[in-house]
Structure 1
Amino acid sequence: MHTAEQLSRDLYQFHADGREVPREYVIPAWGLRDRFGIVITEPFGDIGASLLVQNFINMFYDARPERRERDPQYPEIYVFHVGGTFGNHSPFDFYPARKEVFLEADSPTLLERLNDYGITHLALPECDPGAVIEPNWWADRHAFLERTQWASLYSASGRVQDPSFFICGLDPVVEANTRAALDVEGRLAWLDEVTPEDVRPRLAGPTPLHEAERWVRVVRERSGEVSAADRSRILRGRESFVGTNGLPTESYRQIAPTDALRFMGG
């Protein structure tokens, strides 16, 4: 849970309607029991929404500051890999490993899993909207609409069409986890030099040795999910997007939860 110390609200600016706005103008509600989910359909596609993910991490800790140190917890954020395995996201604090959910490319099943995991705030990749999806169970649609408070579209490129809001990073540290996630070789080289006992203090709270061993095993097992060529391409694209000052600006389009049911099936 390195993000508890690494990230803070003052690292970002929100812009909407042609002006700077407070975060609450864009994301008005976040409570103690809320959960954020992001759907990805390509290798590390959510890097284009990294600032949004970071702000939901901040909101998780801001809702109850004791979660950072006195009662340490990992943020309630989930990534749904739809149609493939698209990279280990533990460097973004999607942890424990159960917070990465793997699904076939099937919209009704995705709807089921969003309900199962109690997602209240949702980010979907931009696509052409389709018809409202026909769920496997009629109740799934009602449960989703009752629970989901907020939804938005993002792009793997960091730029959506017809954006309704922007998030600006104000410090290069906001790119640190992106670089760490893409540097699989560096992480494996580090693991070759340490033991699980060395790793344990770097994980949150009273992490026992067996959990540190499991984390090391998962990192190694998932190291080949995204090829070196793809990771290099993603990194070059991100560096070009961020520019020489290391300060990214990403755009998003907020949608109603009812419309999310169309973009799931698009």
Structure 2
Amino acid sequence: MHTVEILSYTDFNFAIEGQDASLEDILPGFNKCDRIGVVVRQPGGGMGASALLMAALTRFYDLYRPLLGDEPGKLRIYPEFFVFHVGRRHMNHSWMDIWPPHKEVVVEDDPEQILEAINDRGITRLLVEDLTPSSATFLRETISSAEHRIVSALAYSPTGRVDKADVQIISCSVAEDNVLYSLNMSEELSKEVKEELAQARKHLLVGGRVAETYRRIELADAFHMLTLSTEPGTTTRSYMSLLGISNQTSRNKHLLHVGKR
């Protein structure tokens, strides 16, 4: 909650298709109860979504600001934002106020397991890496849960600049300092990788401020971009075994195969 005193929503600028906008234009209906989830697949990849995360957390704190503090009777709270590390932990995001540590979730590289983890945390806004869409198999109820709850989805790039972007968020030096603090304290990464990632962030500077881009996407497209894995993983196969899915009829009843769009 250290960002409460050093950052404000007004420290960020937003644009959609080149026109001035707000966070609420990018995430329609955004409110303090929203739960943001970022799916991260590579070392330091979450930094590519940091401008949106940091802007959203300042909006969250601004909405709560009169109630916040460490004194008796004050509210000590963090936004319900989560990072889903696919396969293994890819970075420590605590200085970006992804806290407590249970909000950094390591999940099996399998579409069903990733979406299950997203559902289990009640995510309402989903950010996925801009991958080439792939086919995937989900339990039908997993898809239904996500469709019922998730309001909006965006594609981001670990580089900070996504192809065919329609959204730009310009951050500030204080926010970027927190991103780099998170990077530097990430024991998962070697010194060489940290240096490479920090150097790459300099290419995002526009007028001395980091500018990241995103692309608004349909939720159905986000499902295709959760992973490059196209076959059910170990845990999902165990579900299929428990359900007795051994023929096409039972597969059609329990599973939804989402093909490329």
State the secondary structure of the residue aligned to 2:209: coil
- CA deviations 1:138-157 (Å, max 9, x no partner) are 21100000100011000011
Q: How many aligned residue pairs are there?
A: 224
- CA deviations 1:4-38 (Å, max 9, x no partner) are 22221111111112211222221111234321111
Query: Alpha carbons of 1:237 and 1:32: their partners in 2 closer, same or farther (altered >3 Å)?
Result: closer
Query: Alpha carbons of 1:14 and 1:234: their partners in 2 closer, same or farther (altered >3 Å)?
Result: same
State the secondary structure of the residue aligned to 1:3: helix
Which residues of structure 2 form unaligned runs of 5+? 229-261
Whole-Å Cα distance in 1 between the matches of residues 62 and 179 of structure 2?
22
2:128 matched to 1:124?
A: yes
After TM superposition, the structure 1 = structure 2 runs for residues 1-266 of structure 1, keeping only pairs within 5 Å, are 1-66=1-66, 68-69=68-69, 70-131=74-135, 133-135=136-138, 137-169=139-171, 171-184=172-185, 224-242=187-205, 246-266=208-228
Query: Alpha carbons of 1:88 and 1:14: their partners in 2 closer, same or farther (altered >3 Å)?
Result: same
Query: Alpha carbons of 1:158 and 1:7: their partners in 2 closer, same or farther (altered >3 Å)?
Result: same
Whole-Å Cα distance in 1 between the matches of residues 175 and 183 of structure 2?
14
| Percent identity between the two aligned chains | 33
State the secondary structure of the residue aligned to 2:137: coil
Aligned position for 1:197 = none
Whole-Å Cα distance in 2 between the matches of residues 18 and 32 of structure 1?
27
- CA deviations 1:104-147 (Å, max 9, x no partner) are 2111100100000000011111110123x321x32110000010
- CA deviations 1:163-185 (Å, max 9, x no partner) are 0110112x31121112212223x
Whole-Å Cα distance in 1 between the matches of residues 59 and 184 of structure 2?
27
Deviates more, 1:223-232 or 1:63-72: 63-72
What root-mean-square deviation, in Å, do the aligned CA atoms of Structure 1 and Structure 2 show?
A: 1.7
Query: Alpha carbons of 1:115 and 1:102: their partners in 2 closer, same or farther (altered >3 Å)?
Result: same
- CA deviations 1:154-207 (Å, max 9, x no partner) are 0011111100110112x31121112212223xxxxxxxxxxxxxxxxxxxxxxx
Deviation at 1:265, TM superposition (A): 4.0
State the secondary structure of the residue aligned to 1:64: helix
Contact 1:66 1:72 in 2 (8 A): no
Query: Alpha carbons of 1:72 and 1:103: their partners in 2 closer, same or farther (altered >3 Å)?
Result: same
Which residue identity lines up with residue 86 of structure 2 in the other structure?
V
Which residues of structure 1 form unaligned runs of 5+? 185-222
Which residue identity lines up with residue 6 of structure 1 in the other structure?
I
TM-score normalised per structure 1? 0.79
Whole-Å Cα distance in 2 between the matches of residues 67 and 115 of structure 1?
29
